[in-house]
Amino acid sequence: QVNAVPKKLPYVPSEEEIRQYYNTVWKSKNMQDVMIIKTLLYTGIRVSELIRLKIKDVDLDGCQLKIISGKGQKDRIVPFPKSFRETLALHITKALQNKSSCLFESSWAKPYSDRGIRKILEKYSKMAGMVENISPHKLRHFLFTWLKKKGIDDALIQPYSGHETRQSLEIYSRLLLAK
C-alpha cells in the first residue's frame, strides 16, 4: 500500500486581495494592462491562450472568445460578462486603428510573450503590496473558485475552463472548502 501525500492546494487570492490588486492596476491608467488583467480575470483563460488571441476570435455580440488550440490542442468557446463587452469593443477599435491582428500587442507592435504578461502582473503585485504574487493562473483559480462559491454547476464550468473532465474541477471545490 502506498501512502499518497495530499497535494498542497494552490494559493487563491481573496476577493479583497483581487479588489486591492485591481484598484492598483486601474490607478496606473495603463488601459492595455487593465484590459489584459480584466480579460484574464473575467474569462479564466490561460496566459498561453491570451497571448495567441486574435481580434477575429472575439465575438462581441455573443460575448465570447474562441480559443484556438488551447491546452491539449483543443478549441473551445469561453464566455465573458456582458458588462465587459463595451470596454473590449473600445480596445478592439484602438487595436484595429494600430493595424493589430492580435488582441494584445506590446509597444513594439508584436504579440506579448508569456513572460511579458507575467511581468506585467508581477509589477502590479509589488505596487499593490501583495503578500503573494498574482499570476495569470492565480486569477484563473480565483475565477473558478468564485464561480463555485456562487453555486455555478461543474457542468457549466468545465467547458469554460478547458478542463478535460469534471473531476479536474474538484480542486476548486477543495479550495472553496479550505477558505
Known active-site residue 112: no
d(CA 31, CA 9): 33
Catalytic residue among 140, 141, 148, 160: 140
141 among known catalytic residues:
no
Q: Is 137 a catalytic residue?
A: yes
Tell me which DSSP letter residue 103 carries.
S
Question: Which runs of E-coded beta strand occur in the chain?
Answer: 58-59, 64-67, 76-79
Sign of the CA dihedral running 19, 137, 100, 72:
negative
Examine the residue annotation and report whether 163 is marked as an active-site residue of this protein: yes
Angle between helices 136-149 and 114-127 (to 10 degrees): 70
Active-site position among 46, 138, 141, 148: 46
Q: 12, 2, 8: which is closest to 148 by C-alpha? A: 12
Beta bridge partners of 33: none
The catalytic site residues sit at: 46, 71, 137, 140, 163, 172
